Amino acid sequence: MSDTPRTNDQIGYDGSTMTLIRIEFAKQLERELNAARKRIKRLYREIELLRFYGNKDCTAMADEALAKEAKL
């Protein structure tokens, strides 16, 4: 199993790639990456606010949830 299945799908049967498909595909991947980076920044900010304003129990639950997420 490849860790880049979407990119692999863009490769032609003869091993070649079509330039137009590659450009549009790369643009879409970049848009998705930028959106994911923005979401990550927002989530880190939310964690900072939680740690600053949250109580001990709330922070402990957040740490537990993050630990579970890291295992995935």
Residue range 5-49, pLDDT digits in tens: 888 788 766 656 666 678 888 899 999 999 999 999 998 888 888
Number of neighbouring beta carbons within 10 Å of residue 14: 6
- Interior/surface letters 38-53, b for 16+ CB within 10 angstroms, e for the rest: eeeeeeeeeeeeeeee
- Interior/surface letters 16-27, b for 16+ CB within 10 angstroms, e for the rest: eeeeeeeeebee
**Over 90: is that where the pLDDT of 67 sits?**
no
Helix H segments across the chain?
5-8, 19-53, 56-71
Q: Are 56 and 44 in contact (CB under 8 A)?
A: no
